Amino acid sequence: MSIIERIQDLSSLPRQIRFQKEAYKAYRQTVQIPSRTTSDPILLDMPTFYEHRENTPLMSVIAVWQHLSGTSWSEWQATAGKQAISVLYALINDYDDFIDSPAARNQRLSSTEIQHGWRLGKASENRLPFREMVHDLLWTFDQMGLSVKEKQYMVKKLAFLKKVALEETVRWEYGNEAFSLQSAKIVRERTCRPFGELTAAVLNGKNCLTERGIETERTMGTWFIAAQVLEDLLDVEEDIRQHNLSFVTGALHDYPEELTNISNIVTRKSGRIPILQIKSMAPDTYHVVEKAFHEYLKQLPHDGKNQFLVATLRNTFYVLLPIKTMV
């Protein structure tokens, strides 16, 4: 990157910070739809169970979607979009917690066993059963006033995401496949892209099948993969401990000496590993991950609207993440 590009990126940083605050404000001010009738004590005791806080990935996602779609906040607030996306993210987060749990890891559950747990179980005692959350998601789809075709479109995307997530979990993280950067790229393409597209479809609501909706969906699919590189740099310590395949752990396996260096750091202490430490102790890994990140940025459409998104991602990579991992 040139100095001019870095200066231009940094000049967008105040707008980037304001970007997420506006999304959270709109999120909080959205009127709640009536909840589905339930006797579940968790929902009765915590009526805001599905609420998400300001500094969470979901707020960034909502902000990016609004920027791409051009949908006004007032238009979005008039739908049940807030509830639908909140339930979806709670469901996905709990599924991740379930497959990452020591019990699931140690037992090396099969795809069938994971599906059984997904239908009947829960990630922990203070969580709803997964099937309850799925019912709540379908309930919010009804409140959005979707046509049968629109609802089928979203449910089909959800079912596809579940299918590929199960396949990749069993193959790479519960199996004995060798990690590499190339395998990480394949897994992230197969899982992050459909997750990004599903997210955009849910946020688009009744516009999910319009030309604008489909275009927003495609762009967010690519944006999700680029954003996942940032998440993987943030979660190196956790991913090594849990044997998760990520851009970073995959690349580290391509450079065994660097994998040893970073594993030794994880063994000595817990907590996030500073990005600058990764850069110094695993320079080849950092370089190839950085290169992959820029490859995904190049896949985003080149226009003024998307250039701002590219700047926000680069700011996060080069400014915000290093600061966050050092604090």
Angle between helices 283-299 and 247-254 (to 10 degrees): 130
- The predicted structure's pLDDT at residue 105: 66
Q: Give the closest residue to 67 by CA, choosing from 149, 12, 30.
A: 12
Q: What is the separation, in whole angstroms, between the first and last Cα of the chain?
A: 26
- The predicted structure's pLDDT at residue 306: 86
Q: How confident is the model at residue 97 (pLDDT cuts 50, 70, 90)?
A: confident
Query: Which distant-in-sequence residues (6+ apart) come within 8 Å of 120 by Cβ?
Result: 129, 130, 131
Q: How confident is the model at residue 223 (pLDDT cuts 50, 70, 90)?
A: very high
**Inter-residue contact 229 to 293 (CB < 8 Å):** yes
Residue carrying structure tokens 């020591």: 102
Residue 229 has pLDDT above 80, yes or no: yes
Nearest 10 degrees: Cα torsion 85, 228, 230, 285: 170
Mean pLDDT over 115-140 rounds to 77
- Integer Cα distance of 297 and 207 in angstroms: 26
Mean pLDDT over 268-279 rounds to 92
Q: Which residues of 104-122 are buried (b: 16+ CB within 10 A; e: fewer)?
A: beeeebeeeebeebbeebb
pLDDT tens column, 177-192: 789 999 999 999 999 9
Residue 10 has pLDDT above 80, yes or no: yes
pLDDT tens column, 283-321: 999 999 999 999 999 999 888 788 999 999 999 999 999
Q: Give the closest residue to 50 by CA, choosing from 96, 20, 19, 94.
A: 94
- Integer Cα distance of 204 and 62 in angstroms: 10
Task: Identify the structural domains of the chain with CATH numbers, from first to last.
Answer: 11-30+58-326 (1.10.600)
Q: Give the closest residue to 242 by CA, choosing from 94, 114, 117, 101.
A: 101
Residue 47 has pLDDT above 80, yes or no: no
Mean pLDDT over 58-70 rounds to 95
Q: How confident is the model at residue 104 (pLDDT cuts 50, 70, 90)?
A: low
Give the chain's mean pLDDT: 88
Instruction: Specify the pTM.
Output: 0.90
Bigger pLDDT: 98 or 117?
Answer: 98
Q: Of the ranges 106-110, 163-167, 184-188, 190-194, which one carries the lowest mean pLDDT score?
A: 106-110
Q: Give the closest residue to 310 by CA, choosing from 226, 187, 186.
A: 226
- Integer Cα distance of 119 and 105 in angstroms: 18
Q: Could you tell me the sign of the dihedral formed by the alpha carbons of 23, 29, 34, 38, in that order?
A: positive
What is the 3 state secondary structure string of 4-61? HHHHHHHHCHHHHHHHHHHHHHHHHHCCCCCCCCCCCHHHHHCCCCCCCCCCCHHHHH
